[in-house]
Amino acid sequence: MSFTADRAQIESSATLQILDRVKQLKRGGEDVISLSAGEPDFATPEHIRTYAKQALDEGYTRYSDAAGLLELREAIAEKLLRENKINATPRNEIVVTVGGKEAIYAAMMATINPGDEVIVPDPCWVSYVPCIQLCGGTPVYLPLSEEDDFRISMDRLEEAVSTKTKMLIVNSPNNPIGNMMSKSEIEAVAGIAKRRQFLVLSDELYERIVFDGGRHYSIGSFADAENLAITVNGFSKSMAMTGWRLGYVAAPPAIAERITAIHSHMVTGACTFAQRAVALALHDSRTEKCINDMVSEYARRRDILARELQRITGISCLLPTGTFYAFPNISGLGLKSQDFARELLERGKVAVVPGNSFGTKGEGHVRLSFATSTDSLMTALDRVRSFVDQLTKNNPEA
């Protein structure tokens, strides 16, 4: 007799598995540099930390409403209208969650029935498919091609839609690829969603981390999708608040009500003093400056990464236009992505995430995070170069 449920044989997150191995090696005295975690290396801005301390002293230590502190939902609504052109009512269209991941899972739990199909671009973030499967849904993969800069083909999207399609997931800026959808692409997706009547879950966690004057567009701002869009966002990436576990979802009232009910049973509510701190931070001009400073530093590191990768024979990489990830192609080196990542970690002492963790179309790639110090990044890239040089020396056909 088994005391565990099948749940589609869900495995733990690939990125967290790698992080666990990195910690194990470091405990053993190994000098390992991790380019695997999706976590800013910056401290949470000081004024936000101060607001949290004040909130504790002011007694924000009890439960908030299940949907979150109203003052935070109101601040989020103002932000959504100002920055994203999304008009969401604080009281019945916004739910504060325990990170963006819970927002995604609760939104799926609220909308996906067993047998419903969810279209997922491939490659994609590691947790989308397990969340779909945990809800009883069926993932339908929408293949992306590096030759097309990993962009969604509207013709392929039309072909993927069936009578069972309930939802499409979009993620821009994109993890793991580091690219962004254009306004015309978002608009085209919105048009297809309205015509074929399916929901669009838009993961916008990296919306503020964009480079070269690029601009993020929210699908919820387009008329065709305003009643079909579920917008997920949070503060982990843009404000360097990963450990605070605060995210949010904006959705039509009926869906938001269901999300709130599910969320109330899963976690009761998000951390109250953290909510208070973010509510204050969203009205503080220092927050915007801190975000801009971090993005400027990410852009500088991205340029270093791109320059150094060009010097490594056998590796090519599209220039990231958003996020703090790159997705270089290592297919010419003669190793599968899983083997490359394992050997690089054990022999080269650099941790990266194998591309096949993000879907079948991720094979032949690895994901590198440049959310680390310049010194660590340069040292890691030197190690990657040495590892690849040794690899090609031992395998001249690579």
Q: What percent of the chain has pLDDT over 90?
A: 89
Residue 214 has what pLDDT? Answer: 95
Is 86 in the same domain as 38? no
Residue 304 has what pLDDT? Answer: 97
Helices (H), 112-267: 128-134, 154-160, 183-196, 253-266
Q: Which of 85, 74, 112, 12 is nearest to 248 (CA)?
A: 74
Q: Is the pLDDT of residue 12 over 90?
A: no
- Asked if residue 397 belongs to a domain, the reply is no
- Asked if residue 1 belongs to a domain, the reply is no
* Helix (H), strand (E) at residue 232: strand 229-234
Confidence of residue 295 (pLDDT cuts 50, 70, 90): very high
Neighbours of 192 (CB within 10 A): 18
Q: Answer yes or no: are the C-beta atoms of 178 and 327 closer than 8 Å.
A: yes
Q: Answer yes or no: are the C-beta atoms of 167 and 116 closer than 8 Å.
A: yes
Residue 216 has what pLDDT? Answer: 97
Is 189 in the same domain as 252? yes
CA distances from 141 to 160, 175, 392 (A): 8, 16, 34
Note if the pTM is more than 0.85. yes
Residue 24 has what pLDDT? Answer: 83
196: CATH: 3.40.640.10
Confidence of residue 6 (pLDDT cuts 50, 70, 90): low
Is 114 in the same domain as 237? yes
Question: How many structural domains does the chain have?
Answer: 2
Is 66 in the same domain as 26? no
Q: Which residue range forms the structural domain that includes residue 167?
A: 49-284
256-289, pLDDT tens digit by residue?
999 999 999 999 999 999 999 999 999 999 999 9
Is 195 in the same domain as 342? no
- Asked if residue 2 belongs to a domain, the reply is no
Is 208 in the same domain as 339? no
**Among candidate residues 284, 308, 338, the one where a domain is terminated:** 284
Is 306 in the same domain as 255? no
Is 111 in the same domain as 239? yes
Is 106 in the same domain as 229? yes
* Helix (H), strand (E) at residue 199: strand 199-203
341: CATH: 3.90.1150.10
Is 335 in the same domain as 238? no
**Among candidate residues 267, 284, 301, the one where a domain is terminated:** 284
**Among candidate residues 235, 265, 284, the one where a domain is terminated:** 284
